[in-house]
Structure 1
Amino acid sequence: MADKKGTLNYKHTFFEGETHGTVSYPGNYEALKFIFKGFRTDIKQIAKNPGLLESEYKTFSGKMGSEFNPSESYLNVILKFMKSNGFKESETYFINLKDKLYPKVK
């Protein structure tokens, strides 16, 4: 994977004990961890600072060279957490974000 500057980000791992037929399982897992390194949303942190979610997605989008947004189902999980734990202001923020990203068809 190359960044915007053309710098190649590369990692090689040897999986001892794996064969051609079994290496894809740990290889795919390690590849996903490598690609998404540094991208993590902590629901307790975004409850305190809801803008953090959009900021993290913006940073990740820049790193990947394509726009990424939280999925509607992920926003539903966040909203359920906010409601269940009494984060009313954050709940309102995420309701508005969900409506902006996934407007209801009338």
Structure 2
Amino acid sequence: MNFLKQDTRQLGKKLISTLWFLGEHAFVATLFFVLGAGVIAALLFWQYVIFSPQAEKDGVVSEFEFREEIFNALLFQLEQEAASVEGANLLNPRDLFNPS
């Protein structure tokens, strides 16, 4: 039993000395953590911003061309709807509940 008391006392002393050491050097440890975070952020910035592939000029569509394509697509859709309305028989509507 005396061995167990001695062992817990040594563990307590080691724990107290470890906590005391960490408390004395907490500011320096915080500085190292902030410096490490800054280095990681700089590396990520370097990897994904500096070395990112640049967009080629041929691959970029101008705003005018984009709007023209959308306008033509919308015009085509409206022409299709107008053709379907013209082809519909408005005097004889179809029965929605009994399609035949």
Q: TM-score, normalised by structure 1?
A: 0.21
Q: TM-score, normalised by structure 2?
A: 0.22
Q: Which has the higher contact order (CA 8 A, sep 6+)?
A: 1
